[in-house]
Structure 1
Amino acid sequence: MYYVATKICRTSEIGLNGNLFGGTMLSWLDEAGAAFAGYLCRAPAMVTLKMEEVLFRRPVKISHHVRIYASVQRVGTTSMTIDVEARRFDFDQDLEELVCSTRMVYVKIDAEGNPAPIDSRLRDSLDQSLAEFARH
């Protein structure tokens, strides 16, 4: 998996039980996944087609740092399937702990919002694109 983003849980994102709202976590995963897919597809416009089963494994509390990781599972004609997971970082133990995971499908779109083809060379050069992403 490739590191994509870090989010810090704020007081305004906490629900009645003292945990991060699930919807906030989903928006973090969606934004990070779309940015990852867009980078790899060299496309400024990637939209979410679907989010598969989401597993909320552990709570996130105020001031927790959440690192988001992603990996490509499949590249189609106009879509890319990505596994996305969030890991809570424990500074004291220098340890990451999985808190949420899902699989998402993003579609490349054109200026009118219609599905647009992903460059077929991407499938051939995916390893190179991922290596570039890891360097940035």
Structure 2
Amino acid sequence: MNFNTRKWVKPEDLNPNDSLFGGKLLAWIDEEAALYTIIQLENPRVVTKHMTEINFMSSAKQGDIIELGIEVVKFGKTSLVLKCEARNKMTREIILTVDSITMVNLDENGKPKLHGKTKIEYVKDRFNDK
């Protein structure tokens, strides 16, 4: 799993228990999944269709640094299925896992669009091919 994004837990990210608000973490994950999909499918028009069960395993507190990891589970015809893990950067303790996030590729009218991708591509390799 590639951990490309880090977030610093700040006071505005906390719930009344002084731990990271779950909704804030889910927003970070949704954004990370969208960015990952946009880069993989080379299309800025993607949406989150579905997330499986979200498993909160531990909490984070103010000052913690959270890493978000994304991995491709499968390429569909119009979608990309990912899994995600959030962990504490310093302790490596897992905070949350999501086994499946389905992201859908859209056309300019907001309809599902075939993307033609079958494997992970890295931007550096796209530049080498051109």
Whether the aligned pair in 2 keeps the contact of 1:56 and 1:100 (CA below 8 Å) is yes
Compute the RMSD of aligned alpha carbons: 1.6
Using structure 1 for the length normalisation, give the TM-score.
0.85
Give the % identical residues: 25
Instruction: State the match for 1:109 in structure 2.
Output: 106
Alignment of 1:42-61 (within 5 A): 42-61=42-61
Structure 2: which 5+ runs fail to align? 126-130
Query: What do residues 49-85 of structure 1 show as CA deviations (whole Å, max 9, x unaligned)?
Result: 0111001111111111101111101111111100011
Residue in structure 2 matched with residue 96 of structure 1 by the alignment: 92
2:54 counterpart letter in structure 1: V
1:96 alignment partner, SS class: coil
Aligned position for 2:128: none
Residue-pair matches, total = 124
1:65 is the counterpart of 2:65: yes
Using the TM superposition, give the Cα deviation of residue 4 of structure 1 relative to its aligned residue in structure 2, in angstroms.
2.7
What is the DSSP-based 3-state SS (H/G/I as helix, E as strand, rest coil) of the residue aligned with 2:92? strand
Tell me the equivalent position of 1:75: 75
TM (normalized to structure 2)?
Answer: 0.89
Unpaired segments ≥5 residues, structure 1? none
Give 1:88 deviation, angstroms: 0.7
